[in-house]
A and B are shown apart, each in its own frame.
Chain A
């Protein structure tokens, strides 16, 4: 159970959008995390590794500076976490994107593929959560 936090959500969202805009205008790349992660073994992947370093390092710096970072671990058993990770890894590559590449950058570009993908993963995820929290056995 979490509280509705519209202001911090919107400010954080703007930062994510600025990151996307910046990467597009400087490197001409879509800020899709699954695509960046999937491309780290390519040649000339320096900017991808640097992006990941910034992504992973910034919350650590926040925490070390005394900020509150709400990075608690998932409340999920390890076998389910492994299944979830496999699905997210495989699915984002098959579907060419995730919440950032399709959900933010793709929607900003009004890409029909990204709109279809975003609707699909939002609905599927909501359905899975419904089955776990309100389905059989509840």
Chain B
């Protein structure tokens, strides 16, 4: 069971990494090309989403028919909460960082193998930002 869980996680990571390579979303300048609506706009990222969301939705729909996942006792449903200030503030801060560098967490990690200092510095700062959130006293 434990080996199956680890293997399932590994395979998901491989598929995700392959998707980022094939779609070229591993390139921060390509992502910025999508976000630059007023410039020489590259709509590719919208086509990534248009491929990914229906494929993911099929998985969600299949999950509704299953009592539990293949290798876990239950589906980890995200907690049902309203749209609140914390969610929107976090999303806005993330968006600002994404627009500054062209990296969101997946592509930044997937690009670590390029050996470029810029990518490593971004990932290190991202981990520091996550750690800072954990250490924040009141939330």
- Chain A positions within 8 Å of B, measured between CB atoms, are 1-6, 8-31, 33-34, 37-38, 46-60, 62-63, 67, 69-76, 78, 80-96, 98-100, 102-109, 111-113, 116-118, 120-130, 132-134
Contact = CB atoms under 8 A, between A and B. Distances in A.
Contacts of A10: 47-48, 50-51
A90 B118 contact: no
A55 to B, nearest CB: 4
Contact of A98 (B76, B104, B118): B104
Contacts of A33: 16, 104-106, 109
22 contacts: A8-B22, A13-B52, A15-B22, A17-B52, A18-B55, A22-B15, A25-B62, A33-B104, A70-B21, A71-B113, A78-B118, A83-B125, A85-B124, A88-B101, A91-B90, A94-B89, A121-B94, A125-B96, A125-B99, A127-B95, A128-B95, A134-B38
A58 B13 contact: yes
Nearest to B81: A113
Given A73-B114, A87-B96, A89-B129, A28 B13 contact: no
B92 A124 contact: yes
A58 B23 contact: no
Nearest to B59: A21
Contacts of A75: 28-29
Given A76-B118, A113-B81, A9 B45 contact: yes
A74 B103 contact: yes
Interface of B: 2, 4-30, 32-33, 35-40, 42-45, 47-60, 62-63, 66, 68-72, 74-76, 78, 81-83, 86-106, 108-114, 116-119, 121-134, 139
Contacts, number: 493
B76 A30 contact: yes
B99 A128 contact: yes
A74 B49 CA distance: 22
B76 to A, nearest CB: 5
A128 B103 CA distance: 13
Given A59-B111, A95-B94, A47 B9 contact: yes
Contact of B87 (A5, A14, A55, A95): A95
Given A26-B69, A78-B118, A54 B48 contact: no
A33 B20 CA distance: 12
A86 B126 contact: yes
A91 to B, nearest CB: 3
B90 to A, nearest CB: 2
B101 A8 contact: no
